Chains A and B, each alone.
Chain A
Amino acid sequence: AQKVTQAQTEISVVEKEDVTLDCVYETRDTTYYLFWYKQPPSGELVFLIRRNSFDEQNEISGRYSWNFQKSTSSFNFTITASQVVDSAVYFCALTEAAGNKLTFGGGTRVLVKP
């Protein structure tokens, strides 16, 4: 069975600080995909990034970056120079090779104060 764990329930930072969100996953599949989604107060989940299990290259996209380490089953996500609009709940998610049936973690609430 697949499992995603986000140990941090809430993080509070001051604007312009960096925020790193931890995610640890479990799966028996050799091919899988990892995601980060953002959920603002309006409720809809907004796609941020996706990474497949064969690509451990870490990248930066604007103020977002991620660190995928297969050896430790971790997929951490960093927001650089946080802004008040980044305040939301962030979810890490995992799915098998195909089908988009996501297993979500419990979420981390990020509060960015001005």
Chain B
Amino acid sequence: ETGVTQSPTHLIKTRGQQVTLRCSSQSGHNTVSWYQQALGQGPQFIFQYYREEENGRGNFPPRFSGLQFPNYSSELNVNALELDDSALYLCASSHGITNTGELFFGEGSRLTVL
């Protein structure tokens, strides 16, 4: 186990609704990254948070937003859900942004949009 926990593990929403996904990073890690993995594809980088500030964003619209809290846990919010938002959402934690090391991933939150 990586020590990264995500909730909920599964959820079903309908088009137009909003969803919040949560992630607790591994102890000692101050950086959280979120990835979207559609079925049968590789993960795609959504954004990264470092010390409560967004530190880089992938090619995702503004309706994808996030937060990082003082304890370094994080939330991913998606507004106005679309069918194509159905995917596994993975959270990864690491320490710092000036080095490049191993990312520790959670088991993901599987979102189904009907």
Residues of A within 8 A of B (CB): 4, 6, 33, 42-47, 50, 52, 91, 93, 95, 97-107
Contacts and interface: CB of A to CB of B under 8 A. Distances in A.
A50 B101 CA distance: 8
A50 B92 CA distance: 16
A75 to B, nearest CB: 15
A102 B97 contact: no
Contact of A43 (B88, B98, B100): B88
Q: Which residue, B42, B43, B97, B99, has most C-beta atoms of chain A within 10 A? A: B42
Interface of B: 2, 4, 31, 33, 35, 40-45, 48, 55-56, 58, 88, 90, 92, 94, 97-108, 110
Given A42-B107, A44-B107, A100 B43 contact: no
B106 A47 contact: no
Given A100-B97, A101-B56, A102-B45, A47 B103 contact: yes
Nearest to B50: A99
Nearest to A33: B100
B105 A100 contact: no
B111 to A, nearest CB: 13
Contacts of A46: 105
Contacts of A107: 40-42
Contacts of A101: 33, 45, 48, 56, 58
